[in-house]
Structure 1
Amino acid sequence: MTQTPPILAIADFISDPVDPADFPKHTIRYWNTRWADEVGLGDLDTADQATHFGRFAPLPQNLQQPLALRYHGHQFGTYNPQLGDGRGFLFAQVRDTGSRLLDLGTKGSGQTPWSRQGDGRLTLSGGVREILAANYLEALGVNTSKPFALIETGEQLARNDEPSPTRSAVLTRLSHSHIRFGSFQRLAYLEQPDDLARLVDYVVTNFHPLAKDEDVSRKTVNMLSAIASATGHMIGQWMTAGFVHGVMNTDNFNITGETFDFGPWRFLPISDPNFTAAYFDQQGLYRFGRQPLQGGWALQQLASALLPLAGAEDLATGLKPYERAYQESFISHTHAMLGIAPFGDPETDTEFLQAFYAWMTETGASWPQTFFDWFGGHESTSRADASPQAALYKEDRFSPVRDALVARSPVRPERLQHAYFQAPAPVSLVIDEVEAVWAPIAESDDWSALHAKLDHIEQARLAYDWH
């Protein structure tokens, strides 16, 4: 096991050293072998996995004590200065095979100074849900944190929103950065401009090096532009994947544009702009169709937090890449999910997207099935004609969409030879399927449905072959 020493030069002003909880059991339920190999941890045996990701003994040449990060945030539009890592911490920093700095952060690892009245724990079902969602997003080419390890901890938890007592677990996730928008908001709120500048330096040096500038104001604006672009790119991918995050609070955005802090997420069964994932989001603030607007709003709050370092007009300029990045991502990823090349004319591509998504909304066509059926454009007409929803494709109102699909050049059509595309239906992850995976675990400790679903998701990832 080889590790590059971490570059954590910010610990003293945005985090608190904490101790992990002492769990009665450490049963390994999930281990991400592929990503463990990628970050140099592939040689850990099961005992080592439990030691480092259940008991959180430090990795060699790494952080000697976990760090709970401090942050604030807007929660459903209301500013909350009483936040922070309440049931998680930054455990370690590692580098992948491309020397990219990555964070290993936890969920359910015990109480911290920011736990308030919480127990600092995670339900096993919550861990399983995140493993499913993150793996599925990765398979669909969406920028996301990666589930790294899930260890059942042997405690019984009381929860109000699911049958209690329920089983407990601790999850470790791998992400490009653990730094949230809310970390900047906290330093601005506390009027600590020097520390705010230190945080900007850290983020630019380690995550957005192209933003470097000797002038603090220009560097800050450049960093904001990079974050805005990354965020727009991510949300464009969400909208193509039919993903509803559910809780787009500013403390749930990170500075590298990765999906993380999975809560009451959903994937759309059919196109519905008003679909809301969280039962407690009664106003639909974070509904599916509003996600692009909410991403822009979160970035505006980040820009406001940076006012001690740069002028308002310059920061407004720094926000401009968001909309363009979102639009470009939405167009490019829709075409990528369909396995076809864009026409290259923005107006024509936009017209196609409007017609395609309008048809899906009007007809109630299955979101995952439609993308699956037409992957490869004209190379897939016979597959689409054999689809469970082939009748929809024969209706007159689909004709303009069909014409546009078959007119496009397929991108790497050899991918259609993969066994995944030989099946009649794709892998999907609507809520009924998630519950069907969890039910046998809860009832009889039967994990076979989870393993089967993850195997199917992996087949999709290999078939799409994004890289």
Structure 2
Amino acid sequence: MNFKQDFFEQLSGFYSQVYPTPITQPHWLGWSDDAAKLIGLTQPNDELLMQLSGNIAAPDASYYAQVYSGHQFGGYTPRLGDGRSIIMGEATGPHGAWDVALKGAGPTPYSRQGDGRAVMRSAVREFLISEALAALDVPTSRALAVIGSDLPVWRETQEQAAITVRLAKSHIRFGHFEYFCHSEQGRTEKLTQLVNFTLAQHFPHLSADKAGYVQWFNEVVESTAKMIAHWQSIGFAHGVMNTDNMSILGDSFDFGPFAFIDTFKEDFICNHSDHQGRYAFGQQPGIGLWNLQCLAQALSPVIASDDLVAALNRYQTHLVAHYVELMAQKLGFDYQVSQHQQDLTLIGQLTTLLEANQLDYTQSLRQFGQIDIHSQHSSLRDNMIDVDGFDQWFSRYQQRVGNVADMRQWQAQRNGVNPKYVLRNYLAQEAIIDIEERGDNRKLKQIQSVLAQPFAEHAEFEDFAKRPPEWGQGLIMSCSS
């Protein structure tokens, strides 16, 4: 890997230098060829394994943990930081520069009495979801690899430590700006320095002046809205939308107790610590705005409040427009700005039907690739308990789609945007059990392979597309997972 060190060299005081604590008996559990190509790597090897497990230093790597704060479940924590993640630097390759972070590499000054480790189950889950979302064309950080070990760590019970090697176009979070806004030392100076660095690195088309700052915040609002629209369209619940888990680039980031919805529920909660449902699936659009409001408050020393409010007022427009555009592709009608409200109503009526009839979200949308728009009968209709309600909706839907000249082409297009396979929590859990109990990572590799092509038919892995078994329905994960 070839590193540059812009963050490390230009932002002294924004991090602490800290070196990984080696793990014992490191071994590859998972590797992403697609992620490797981003930074010019090919195949994994022993030397790279030792570098990414913290056992030997990588040339040109700097090793540091960033400091930031954040609102966690609505309450402000003034000092968080990378408690179990150590950044090596920005690896340069054919697809630009990507931060390389070792998540689970040992304690840092921000570990807050923690051991700085990631348990194997959380490392495997982050590896799989990062690559799964990328294959679904959702803005996201990536995962180069997951590295196992025989190092014991304690959570509720003894578990195995592991490291996820995360790639991100940036690790700068909303919480970075909150920290330097609310810090008493060099408040405006440090905040301005961070904003200027962010623009230079990630928004080079913008000038480092008041006009550039305003345009930048508008772009952050829009990219955040688009990310969440993607989540809602594929039935993805992040689970921990704290401001320290929000990327300034609008990339999905910091995965803990995430889940794809199986049986559709608007109020689905995937995090067992979320007792009030703050981060329930249906709450994500509103929480996105709430987090942007926290960011706006942090930026108020450098951007006028009227400009911040004006940008925030565009959030809902961006989110609805992108969501309707994505769902129009999934349902097979032409996207038209003038039809937004009618289309949003039509989409909402469909999700209401899915919830009332307790249907699987991913499977139901996939069935639009089998529908004959000129016929009332379909496999989706056959799954409905409220057939009359569906027929009424389908009649309105037929009118919206209109005449389809080439039905096979139309159906193929639906299968090209509605995945057959998503990372269901029970599948990840089965892979984790195989590794824990038998040291067998074949299931992990199979799941990864299927999720890399989620729209294709995989005859030998047809079971991966089925609804969860009884034990796997509605799995709720912990933040340590």
TM-score band, normalised by shorter chain = 0.7 to 0.9
| Cα distance change on mapping 1:275 and 1:193 into 2, 3 Å | same
Shift of 1:116: 1.2
Aligned ranges 1:18-57 → 2 under 5 Å = 18-42=18-42, 44-55=43-54, 57=56
- 2:180 equivalent in structure 1: 187
Q: 1:168 aligns with which of 153, 158, 161?
A: 161
Q: 1:207 aligns with which of 202, 227, 241?
A: 202
Q: Distance in 2 between matches of 1:233 and 1:462?
A: 25
Shift of 1:23: 1.4
Percent identical among aligned pairs is 27
Deviations 1:147-175 (A, max 9, x none): 11111122111112xxx211110111111
| Cα distance change on mapping 1:132 and 1:186 into 2, 3 Å | same
Shift of 1:360: 1.4
Q: Distance in 2 between matches of 1:288 and 1:203?
A: 30
Q: Secondary structure at the match of 2:307?
A: helix
Q: Distance in 1 between matches of 2:166 and 2:415?
A: 30
Shift of 1:386: 4.8
Paired amino acid for 1:445: G
1:87 and 2:67 are equivalent in the alignment: no
Paired amino acid for 1:402: F
- 2:132 equivalent in structure 1: 136
Q: 2:341 aligns with which of 335, 340, 347?
A: 347
TM-score using structure 1 length? 0.88
Paired amino acid for 1:7: D
1:369 and 2:363 are equivalent in the alignment: yes
Q: 1:233 aligns with which of 222, 226, 232?
A: 226
Q: Distance in 2 between matches of 1:13 and 1:336?
A: 46
Q: Secondary structure at the match of 2:440?
A: coil
When the two chains are superposed, the root-mean-square deviation of aligned CA atoms in Å is 2.9
Q: Secondary structure at the match of 1:16?
A: strand
Shift of 1:241: 1.3
Q: Distance in 1 between matches of 2:221 and 2:154?
A: 39
Paired amino acid for 2:160: R
Paired amino acid for 2:78: P
Q: Secondary structure at the match of 1:85?
A: coil
Shift of 1:354: 1.9
- 2:65 equivalent in structure 1: 68
Q: Distance in 2 between matches of 1:429 and 1:213?
A: 41
Q: 1:257 aligns with which of 243, 250, 255?
A: 250
Shift of 1:313: 1.6
Q: Secondary structure at the match of 2:155?
A: coil
| Cα distance change on mapping 1:130 and 1:214 into 2, 3 Å | closer
- 1:7 equivalent in structure 2: 6
Q: Secondary structure at the match of 1:20?
A: coil
The answer as to whether partners of 1:376 and 1:411 remain within 8 angstroms in 2 is no
Q: Distance in 1 between matches of 2:13 and 2:269?
A: 36
Q: Which runs of 5+ in 2 are unaligned?
A: 458-481
Paired amino acid for 1:239: Q
Shift of 1:462: 6.1
Paired amino acid for 1:335: A
- 2:191 equivalent in structure 1: 196
Deviations 1:237-271 (A, max 9, x none): 11111111111111000100111111111111122
TM-score using structure 2 length? 0.85
| Cα distance change on mapping 1:41 and 1:380 into 2, 3 Å | farther
The answer as to whether partners of 1:339 and 1:376 remain within 8 angstroms in 2 is no
Q: Secondary structure at the match of 1:13?
A: coil
Q: Distance in 2 between matches of 1:337 and 1:319?
A: 28
Q: Which runs of 5+ in 1 are unaligned?
A: none
The answer as to whether partners of 1:184 and 1:305 remain within 8 angstroms in 2 is yes
Paired amino acid for 1:359: L
The answer as to whether partners of 1:377 and 1:410 remain within 8 angstroms in 2 is no
| Cα distance change on mapping 1:413 and 1:174 into 2, 3 Å | farther
